[in-house]
Amino acid sequence: MGRMWREPDLAMFASLALEPLWPIESRSLIPLVAGLAARSAIEDLSGVTVGLRWPNDLMVGEKKAGGLLAESFGDVVVVGCGVNLAWREPMEGATALSDHGARSVDAIGLARTWADHLLERLSLHPDDWGLDEYRQSCVTVGRFVTYRGGSGTAIGVSDEGSLLVDTGEEVVAVTSGEVRVNDPATLPSDPEE
H/E stretch holding 77 reads strand 76-86
Q: Which amino acid is at 67?
A: G
Q: Can you give the pLDDT at residue 191?
A: 41
pLDDT at 99 over 80: yes
Q: How confident is the model at residue 1 (pLDDT cuts 50, 70, 90)?
A: low
Q: What pTM did the predictor assign? A: 0.90
Q: For residues 31 and 41, give the distance between their C-alpha atoms in angstroms, rounded to a whole number.
A: 15
Closest CA to 113 of 43, 47, 167: 43
| pLDDT tens sequence across 150-184 | 999 999 999 999 999 999 999 999 998 778 887 65
Q: For residues 154 and 172, give the distance between their C-alpha atoms in angstroms, rounded to a whole number.
A: 9
